[in-house]
């Protein structure tokens, strides 16, 4: 067993390294980097201040005065480098008209500016260099700063992680509260109307898109109950009542989405267990039907259910994105979504790695729990 | 048994009804499926309906793709506008009919893509085993370590292109290549986006599917007839094509049907988030943006597209369940 745990722990290392390599590779493939998006007119609008702040932050970090540095850039450009740009644009520097000179100056300034920012943000380095520097920094607990704005990522994540965990745990709780009793009853009453309703209901829960359900709930609340969900988010430890007022409904919707799968598995496992010899023995020795089901049946049926709970974590993360988006909850998923849209590489890598760590270790935890719960399983 | 007397063989005939011709057998089979699994048949009906409506959408829809009735914006369902109109005065019914194209094409495309990838990965990993299996499974580990929705969103961002760029492997070259994006009521006019969505969804769903295929291959490989074929000197290719594939086909078909539901749900979700197919009406897109504010007083705006997604995914899951019961008794009750 110890050997198995060690082997599994060692296997997580290449998996996580692989994930980080892959995410970095994706980032390299993204058409247009953050600098393009920040500077281009056809990119996101209104980012000039953010861009300026990030460039200034970089300059200050290097010990330069942003104002003089910008001036030096300008001077250098005007000191003849325009000629090179003119050549590149297909003009002869000697005979260029003033208008062409101006255009060349603008074009050069723009490209030089972009390259300057790229160099400052480390985007001009090659793929492995970027990857290696990210991994070594991450191991020291430094997740870097966002490209837009230069805000540190670590503290931002620390703010958001508790919220996401709260939403996930509440959602899981709701799904278990729904799924386990319904699954057990559905199995005990196999092939009765109760069973059919429960099974169709489970597939219905799998099939209903969470954004549709959330929309309907918000409409129903405002229409018939004259209630609207709070617009502002409060942290759990600041104001638990207001926090739960916002989070309870997303948790229920998240739980409903998850409960379909868990219910179906619970039912299937329960059916399996009900046919076992020890169930017949329990009934034969005179145990009441429900005592036998609960004490001997449910405990054995739940072992594979533990597995599926662990495997639901990626679904949980994905489901929470839509709900965080609709209900305005500042969770980790939404942070990543914004980062993908803004091509903010350090954030994308950091959050994807965070999710990968959570998923890999929850899988490991599931396997180990499985071994503890079911002594028949031997790991080597 | 090899030497049964001739007269006995003649008597045996009365116990066996002669086989019906194939069309009749298929008709009876279908009828039996409908009576035994009505909800599964409902799912099959949904699939056929979506494909047929998608194929004939320009004739079924009341309005052309880009028609607007600005004086009639946000009207409730009526005899003129069956499902009402949205804030831009577009007929919701016509848009939903056009959106069937997206649902059908993305659903079927993703299923084909997932089936091919998961078969290649799962069969090679499961059948050959050993070092190859170990390495492939570690890659699948990495594959499954991403939350699906983010892998989809990242892949969409990786694969999509902006004007002036060629994108990933030149996959989307924009207007100069492929059909005119502004022309006609057909979904394939949005060609680069279509491929990108299908590619991204397919890659993500294939990871989990390959695990299922692998375990089915492992179960099949344990059978004595595989060993017998090996002893007889059959090549790996022959064993895979003649013995392994036919035996895992039931699992693959069931898996494909269930993936259809997942794919459509995922497509709706990314459309809702404003990604995916953005230049053609889709059901998920109709629920996003201003619709959510307007739907407070005009609930039909959310009800019709949302209900369509729900019914489609519900039907496909039911179909998958029913097919599993019929085709693959070993899997009955699992999941």
| From B138, B265, B321, residue closest to A14, measured CB to CB | B138
Which of B36, B42, B107, B150 best tests the A interface by mutation, with the highest count of A CBs <10 A?
B150
**Residue A155 contacts B, CB cutoff 8 Å:** no
**For residues B117-148, b (16+ Cβ closer than 10 Å) or e, as one string?**
bbbebbbbbbbeeeeebeebbebbbbbbbbbb
pLDDT at residue A228 in the model: 76
Q: Is the pLDDT of residue B118 over 90?
A: yes
* Per-residue pLDDT, B329: 60
pLDDT digits (tens, 9 = 90+) for B232-274: 988 888 998 888 888 888 888 888 888 898 899 989 988 888 8
- B167 close contact with A: CB closer than 8 A: yes
B9 or A161: which carries more pLDDT confidence? A161
A261 in B contact zone (CB under 8 Å): yes
Distance from the Cα of B17 to chain A's closest Cα (Å) equals 33
Nearest to A264 among B142, B148, B335 (CB): B335
Chain B closest CA to A312's CA: distance in Å? 10
* Interface residue A355 vs chain B (CB under 8 A): yes
Q: With beta carbons under 8 A apart, name residues in chain B contacting A337.
A: 153, 273
Q: Could you give the CA distance from residue A199 to residue B100 in angstroms, rounded to a whole number? A: 28
Q: Does the CB of A223 have a partner CB in chain B at under 8 Å?
A: yes
Confirm if A229 and A326 have CB atoms less than 8 A apart.
no
Confidence check on the interface: ipTM exceeds 0.90, yes or no:
no
- Candidates A7, A197, A202, A209: best to mutate against B (most CBs of B within 10 A) is A209
The answer to whether B135 contacts chain A (CB < 8 Å) is: no
Averaged pLDDT, B314-330: 80
Which residues, 6 or more positions from B90, have their beta carbon under 8 angstroms from its beta carbon? Answer: B63, B67, B68, B69
**Residues A116, A73 contacting (CB under 8 angstroms):** yes
Cβ–Cβ contact B103 with A under 8 A: no
Question: Burial of B228 by CB count in 10 Å (0-12 exposed, 13-18 middle, 19+ buried)?
Answer: exposed
**B-chain residues within 8 Å CB-CB of A315?**
148
CB B90 within 8 A of CB B74: no
pLDDT at B66 over 90: no
Q: Flag whether residue A34 sits within 8 Å of chain B, measured between CB atoms.
A: no
Instruction: Give the closest of A30, A207, A333 to B313, CB-based.
Output: A207
A342 chain-B contacts, CB cut-off 8 A:
none
Name the residue among A15, A31, A211 with its Cβ closest to that of B272: A211
What number of other Cβ atoms are within 10 A of residue B255's Cβ? 27
Nearest C-alpha in A relative to B147: A314
Interface contact B261-A318, CB threshold 8 A: no
Provide CB contacts within 8 A for A38, sequence distance 6+: A44, A47, A50, A51, A54, A117, A147, A148
Give the tokens for residue A284: 């034969």
Question: Could you tell me the end-to-end alpha-carbon distance of chain A, in angstroms, rounded to an integer?
Answer: 7
The whole-number pLDDT of residue B2 equals 52
Cβ-based neighbours of A231, under 8 Å, separated by 6 or more? A328
CB contact under 8 A, A317 and B160: no
Length of chain B: 335
Residues of chain A with Cβ-Cβ distance to B162 below 8 Å are 31-32, 42
* Residues 6+ positions from A239 with CB-CB distance below 8 Å: none
pTM of structure: 0.79
Report the C-alpha gap between A137 and A209 in whole angstroms: 39
Cα B69 to chain centroid, rounded = 34
- The answer, for A340 touching chain B at a CB cutoff of 8 Å, is yes
CA B333 vs CA A272, A273, B321: distances in Å:
9, 12, 9
Between A92 and B101, the higher pLDDT residue:
B101
Which residues lie below 8 Å from residue A342, measured CB to CB, with a gap of 6+?
A34, A37, A44, A147, A148
Highest mean pLDDT among A104-118, B164-178, B288-302 belongs to: B288-302
A310: which residues sit within 8 A by CB, 6+ positions away? Answer: A362, A363, A365, A366, A369
**Residue B110 banded pLDDT, cuts 50, 70, 90:** very high
Q: How does pLDDT run across B206-236, given as a tens digit for each residue?
A: 988 898 898 889 888 888 988 899 899 888 8
What letter does residue B32 receive in the DSSP assignment?
H
CB contact under 8 A, A318 and B310: no
Distance from CA of residue A300 to its chain's centroid? 33
- Interhelix angle for A210-224 vs A240-274, to 10°? 130
CB contact (8 A) between residue B333 and residue A212: no
Q: Is A364 on the interface with B (CB under 8 A)?
A: no
Burial of A71 (0-12, 13-18, 19+ CB in 10 A): exposed
The residue with tokens 């702040």 is A53
| A44 interfacial to chain B (CB closer than 8 Å) | no
Please state, as a whole number, how many other Cβ atoms lie within 10 Å of the Cβ of residue A200: 14
CA distance B152 to chain A (A): 10
Contact B138 A11 (CB under 8 A): yes
How many other CB atoms sit within 10 Å of the CB of residue A246?
17
B334 touches chain A (CB under 8 A): yes
- Mean predicted lDDT score pLDDT of chain B: 80
Residue B171 reports pLDDT greater than 70: no
Using a CB-CB distance cutoff of 8 angstroms, which residues of chain A are in contact with residue B157? 30, 340-341, 343
pLDDT in tens, chain A (380 residues): 788 888 888 888 888 888 888 887 777 666 555 566 555 543 333 344 444 555 555 555 555 555 555 555 555 555 555 666 666 666 776 677 777 777 766 666 666 666 776 776 666 677 777 778 778 887 777 777 776 666 788 888 888 888 888 888 899 999 999 988 888 888 888 878 888 888 888 888 888 888 899 888 888 888 888 777 777 777 777 777 777 878 888 899 999 888 888 888 888 888 888 888 888 888 888 777 777 777 777 777 777 777 777 777 777 877 788 888 888 888 888 888 888 877 777 888 888 888 888 888 888 888 787 777 777 766 65
Question: Are the C-beta atoms of A329 and A167 separated by less than 8 Å?
Answer: yes
Q: Which residues of B touch A356 (CB under 8 A)?
A: 145-146
Query: Which of 295-334 (A) contact B at CB < 8 A?
Result: 314-315, 317-318, 321-322, 325-326, 333
Cα distances from A244 to residues A266, A329, B27, B149, in angstroms, run 29, 11, 56, 26
Task: Answer whether A200 touches B (CB < 8 Å).
Answer: yes
Give tens-digit pLDDT for A227-283. 777 777 777 777 777 778 788 888 999 998 888 888 888 888 888 888 888 888 888
Cβ-based contacts of B306 with chain A (< 8 Å): 209, 212, 215-216
φ, ψ dihedrals at A145, nearest 5° = -120, 160
Q: Do A206 and B261 touch (CB under 8 A)?
A: yes
* Residue pointed to by tokens 């949005």: B190
What does chain A come to in residues?
380
Look up residue A40 and give its two tokens.
Answer: 């281009």
Which ranges in B232-333 belong to alpha helices (H)?
Answer: 236-238, 245-272, 283-286, 291-294, 300-327
Asked if the Cβ–Cβ distance from B317 to A219 is below 8 Å, we say no
Long-range contacts at A123-127 (CB < 8 A, ≥ 24 apart) = A123/A33, A123/A34, A123/A35, A123/A345, A127/A24, A127/A25, A127/A28
If you measure CA to CA, which chain A residue comes closest to B263? A207
Q: Which residue has the tokens 């006019």?
A: B189
pLDDT of residue A366: 81
Residue B48 has pLDDT above 60, yes or no: yes
CB contact under 8 A, B310 and A207: yes
């Amino acid at each position: 067993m110890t050997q198995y745990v060690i082997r599994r722990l060692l296997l997580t290392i290449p998996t996580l390294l692989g994930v980080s390599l892959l995410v970095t590779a994706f980032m390299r493939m993204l058409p247009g980097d953050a600098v393009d998006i920040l500077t281009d007119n056809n990119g996101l609008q209104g980012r000039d201040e953010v861009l300026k702040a990030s460039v200034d932050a970089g300059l200050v970090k290097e010990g330069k005065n942003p104002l003089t540095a910008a001036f030096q850039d300008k001077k250098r450009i005007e000191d003849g480098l325009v000629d090179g740009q003119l050549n590149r644009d297909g003009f002869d520097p000697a005979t260029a008209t003033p208008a062409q000179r101006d255009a060349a100056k603008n074009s050069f300034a723009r490209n030089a500016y972009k390259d300057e920012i790229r160099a400052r943000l480390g985007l001009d380095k090659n793929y492995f260099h970027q990857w290696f520097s990210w991994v070594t920094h991450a191991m020291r607990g430094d997740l870097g700063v966002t490209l837009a704005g230069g805000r540190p990522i670590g503290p931002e994540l620390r703010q958001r992680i508790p919220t996401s965990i709260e939403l996930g745990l509440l959602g899981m709780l709701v799904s278990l509260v729904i799924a386990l009793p319904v699954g057990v009853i559905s199995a005990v009453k196999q092939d009765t109307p109760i069973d059919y309703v429960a099974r169709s209901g489970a597939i219905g829960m799998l099939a209903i898109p969470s954004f549709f359900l959330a929309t309907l709930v918000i409409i129903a609340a405002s229409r018939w109950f004259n209630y609207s969900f709070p617009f502002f988010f409060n942290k759990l430890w600041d104001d638990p009542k207001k926090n739960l007022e916002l989070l309870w409904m997303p948790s229920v919707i998240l739980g409903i989405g998850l409960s379909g799968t868990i219910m179906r598995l619970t039912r299937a496992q329960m059916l399996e267990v009900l046919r076992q010899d020890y169930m017949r023995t329990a009934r034969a020795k005179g145990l009441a039907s429900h005592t036998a089901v609960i004490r001997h049946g449910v405990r054995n049926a739940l072992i594979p259910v533990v597995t599926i709970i662990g495997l639901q974590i990626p679904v949980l993360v994905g489901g929470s994105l839509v709900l965080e988006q609709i209900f305005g909850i500042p969770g980790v998923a939404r942070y990543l979504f914004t980062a993908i849209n803004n091509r903010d590489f350090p954030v994308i890598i950091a959050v994807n790695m965070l999710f990968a760590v959570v998923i890999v270790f929850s899988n490991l935890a599931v396997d180990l729990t499985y071994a503890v719960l079911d002594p028949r399983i031997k790991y080597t | 048994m090899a030497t049964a007397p001739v007269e006995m063989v003649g008597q045996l005939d009365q116990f066996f009804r002669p086989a019906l011709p194939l069309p009749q057998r298929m008709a009876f089979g279908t009828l039996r499926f409908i009576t035994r699994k009505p909800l599964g048949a409902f799912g099959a009906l949904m699939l056929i309906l979506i494909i047929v409506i998608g194929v004939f959408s320009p004739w079924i829809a009341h309005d052309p793709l880009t028609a607007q009735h600005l004086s009639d914006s946000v009207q409730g369902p009526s005899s003129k506008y069956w499902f009402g109109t949205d804030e831009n005065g577009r007929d919701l019914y016509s848009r939903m009919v056009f959106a069937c194209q997206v649902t059908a094409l993305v659903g079927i495309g993703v299923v084909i893509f997932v089936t091919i990838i998961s078969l290649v990965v799962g069969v090679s990993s499961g059948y050959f085993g050993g070092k190859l299996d170990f390495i492939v499974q570690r890659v699948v580990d990495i594959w499954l370590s991403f939350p699906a929705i983010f892998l989809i969103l990242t892949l969409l961002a990786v694969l999509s292109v902006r004007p002036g760029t060629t994108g990933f492997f030149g996959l989307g070259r924009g207007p100069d290549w492929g059909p005119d994006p502004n022309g006609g009521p057909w979904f394939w006019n949005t060609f680069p986006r279509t491929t990108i969505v299908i590619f991204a969804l397919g890659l993500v769903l294939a990871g989990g599917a390959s695990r299922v295929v692998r375990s089915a291959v492992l179960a099949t490989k344990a059978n004595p007839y595989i060993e017998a074929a090996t002893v007889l000197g059959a090549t790996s290719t022959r064993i895979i094509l003649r013995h392994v594939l036919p035996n895992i086909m039931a699992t693959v078909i069931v898996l494909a049907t269930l993936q259809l539901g997942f794919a459509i749900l995922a497509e709706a979700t990314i459309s809702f988030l404003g990604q995916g197919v953005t230049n053609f009406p889709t059901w998920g897109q109709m629920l996003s943006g201003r619709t959510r504010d307007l739907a407070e007083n005009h609930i039909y705006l959310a009800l019709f597209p949302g209900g369509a997604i729900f019914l489609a995914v519900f039907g496909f899951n039911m179909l998958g369940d029913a097919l599993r019961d019929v085709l693959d008794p070993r899997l009955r009750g699992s999941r």
